[in-house]
Amino acid sequence: MTIWLILTKFKGDKRIKNMHLSSNELTILYNKGNERDRKTLSYAHTITDKINKQELGSVKVSSTLFQVFVEKLNEDPKKLINKADPYYQKNIRGKDFSITEWFDLLINHPDLLKAPLAMYQNKAVICNTPTDILKLS
């Protein structure tokens, strides 16, 4: 059985983004510039062939998708940020932002994503190690 979650953003009366999330599709939010993230993506293929790749640097990722991840993980968005990153230390440390503002920071600075985020069959996980994605199987 497939359950579809339709994410739509509006600007005034105009629809600007429409994306479908299927519970039978593994969705991964990652940074292809990070070796751990690429390894995590490889492990994802052992779970399913249906993978929705949301790469921060090359795909127009929806802020709504990021919000869904935050809610599924039941986490503060700040906990998804790499606090050791020099940009974080210089420009962000000590500041609080909304979910949308954290997302905007990640889009502009993909290295700030602490670890890939994955969602499959109504479960979500932070992949601190590549094999953490196997918790979804």
**The pLDDT value given to residue 131:** 98
Q: Domain for residue 52, yes or no?
A: yes
Number of domains in the chain: 1
Is residue 99, in this structure, part of any structural domain at all? Answer: yes
pLDDT of 59 reads 79
104 in any annotated domain? yes
Residues 99 and 51: their CA atoms lie apart, in Å, by 25
**Sheet with 26-30: strands ordered across:** 51-55, 26-30, 117-120, 123-126
Q: Any residues with CB less than 8 A from the CB of 120 and at least 6 apart, and which?
A: 23, 25, 26, 27, 47, 48, 136, 137
In a domain, 129, yes or no: yes
C-alpha distances out from residue 107 to 16, 29, 51, 78, 92, Å: 17, 11, 20, 14, 15
CATH number for 118: 3.40.30.10
The tens digit of pLDDT for each residue in 32-86 reads 999 999 999 999 999 999 999 999 888 778 888 888 899 999 999 999 999 999 9
108 belongs to a structural domain: yes
- Residue at 14 is within a domain: no
Percent of the chain at pLDDT > 90 equals 61
Helical packing angle, 63-73 and 99-108, nearest 10°: 120
| Residue bearing the bigger pLDDT, 104 or 1 | 104
d(CA 59, CA 53): 9
The confidence score (pLDDT) of residue 83 equals 94
- Across all residues in the chain, what is the average pLDDT? 85
Is residue 8 a part of any domain in this protein?
no
The whole-number pLDDT of residue 101 equals: 92
Query: What does the CA dihedral 52, 54, 59, 63 come to, rounded to 10 degrees?
Result: 120
Task: Work out the pLDDT band at 23, boundaries 50, 70, 90.
Answer: confident
Domain range enclosing 99: 27-136
Residue 5 belongs to some domain of the structure: no
